[in-house]
Every structure is written in C-alpha cells, then in structure tokens.
A and B are shown apart, each in its own frame.
Chain A
Amino acid sequence: MTPESHLPLAPATFQILLALVDGERHGYSIMKEVTARSDGAVRMGPGTLYGALKRLLEGGLVEETEERADVEVGDDRRRYYRLTKFGLRVARLEARRLEAMVRAARRKKLIGTEPA
C-alpha cells in the first residue's frame, strides 16, 4: 500500500501518530500525551486507542518494541509502540493535507489570516 492510500486518517489515528513522533510510548502514555496536547479536548478511551493501534500495526505505520515496565506509572510490564518510517511518511502527508485545508479556509476568511 502507498502512504497516500491511508489518507485521510481518522482523527484518533492522527493523534496517535502525532504522539509517537517524539519517540516510543506505551498505551497509557499515548493517551496522556493526546489529552495534554489538546488541553483535554480530545479524550481517547482504551478501546478506541487499541482499536486504532491494531489497524496501525496491521498497516505497518507503527511497530511494537520491547515490553517493559514504566516506573512512573507502575510495575506492570507494558507494550511500547513506535512509528515506522512508513508511518512517519503517512503522518507528514496527513499534516500537509490538513495544512492545505486550513490555508483554503483562511483564503475563504473562515478563520483569521494569522494562526490563533
């Protein structure tokens, strides 16, 4: 599959990819990052998160790394996920697609000319 064939990404999927751009994370860390980045506007439950992660793994956008405990959260061993090169390309393409849409909205004066 080409990167373009994955577009447009579902909002939850793009949020997960954005969270993984900084490096590998486990599920709870992805959820916290998404909530913090959106100032609490986007809240993702475990089902939505792992449903999206399953599809991302199957599509080769994300891969699992070693399982280990996160001392900040607890002793339980957790699965960590990271972006693949392919996943990064898809995330970039989606970001460009959204940027083009925002530019079009600005030209139509739907939003201000300067980013808020």
Chain B
Amino acid sequence: MAGLVLLVLFVLLALLAPVLSPYDPLAQSIPESLSPPSITHPLGTDKLGRDMFSRMLYGARISLTVGLAVVALAGGLGTFVGLLAGYLGRWADELLMRVTDIFFAFPSLILAMAIAGALGPSLRNALIAVAVVSWPIYARLIRGQVLALREREFIQAARSIGVSNRQIILRHLLPNTLAPLLVQASFDMGTTILSVAGLSFIGFGAQPPTPEWGVMISEGRNYITTQWWLTGGPAIGILLLVAAFNLVGDGLRDILDPQLRR
C-alpha cells in the first residue's frame, strides 16, 4: 500500500511538473549558485544556480518515461519471443531460447554500456541499450507460462474446434500470462531506473544539462559533503521511486500468487 501511495505521488509530481516547478529547470542564475534549501529554493540550487526542486520534478518525469518505455519495449519483445518459443516448441523453441541464453550471459551494465557507446551517448540510446539487455527475462518467463498452459484443456479444446494458432496465442495464451508479466514489469521499472541513472552517471546516457537524476548526481559529486543537496535530492528521488516499484511488485505478487506470501 505504501508503495502504491508513493508511486501515485511520483506520477502526479511528474505529470504536474510544468505547473509545480517554480523555475525553468534549465534557467541559470550564477549569483544564486550553491544556495542551501530555503523558501525561494526548497531543495537549494546547483553550481549554475539552477533550482534543484524544479530539476527534481522534471527528473521524475524523465525517469518514469524512460522506465515505461524500456519496460514496454523489452516486455513487448520478450513476450513475443516467449509466446512463439513456448507455443511452437521443437526447433523454434530451441533456437529462440539459445538466443536468449546469449543475452543472459552478458553482465547487463557492461553490454548496455557497449551498446550505448556504439550508438553514441544519449538518453534515447541508453534506453535502447537497457531494453536490449532486459527482454530475455520476459521471454523466459512467458515461455514457461505458455509451456504450462499449452497442455491445459481449454487450449486443447480451442485447437480441436479449429481455432487458428494466431487466435490461440492472442486470445487464450496471452491474457493468461499477463499476471506474472505485470509483477516482472513492476520490478523491472525499478531496475531500469537504476540502470539508466547509472549509465547517465558514467556519461553514456542523458547528457548535461538534462535534469536526469543520474546526471545530477554526477554534476554534484564533488560537493557531496559540503553541498549535500546537490546529490542527496536526486539520490533520495531514485531511492524512493525504485523502492515504490519494488513494493508494488511485492504487493502484486502476493495478490496474484498468495502461496509466495511471506
């Protein structure tokens, strides 16, 4: 419940960022640089005098959008591969699963960094890179579900009355795999937000002056003990948003699979 409340709060803050932001997140004001939190700047300002609160709000927007885009891309591709592998079986299953094995072998951040490096550092390319390393988990998950469902009576009944493969996959198999997909997607939103922030932090994702949380921590790294608000704000933002997705994932799993509840 706490996770859901937190998540709704973040979504609202992100949606209302243009209304709630007291300043333009990119507007510089050198005389006000490195000001501590105050009434005029609730989360202080950075070294270029930009308002940290406004940057935080726009940062939430970026993190949520990136998370959604990656999960949609990776979830879509993984689900497609998993459905095909599980339903077609035999050589198609063997081939597709060996391809997923290849992607599982890479430590995700190293591969994502290589992809982002090859395509050129930008938020869009970081997003593509993280999606490329994230889809195999969905493929395995959905394939497992389909293998279990394939032999169930309702699928055999559909097959026996001549329903086409496409219809069986789309109308009968896909809807029954959505519950575990949703749980995985929720956990993955958190992991994606961390990965993209990490890539941006080392320079392979969003580029300054974009108000992305990983970039903001990187920009404030030399002030971590003196002007703590430069890094503390974005770090707490990431922590709370990722924790919210993890808690929602836990909650969904408990609802959908009460046996796992502990």
Q: Specify whether A and B are partners.
A: no
Footprint of B on A, CB under 8 Å?
none
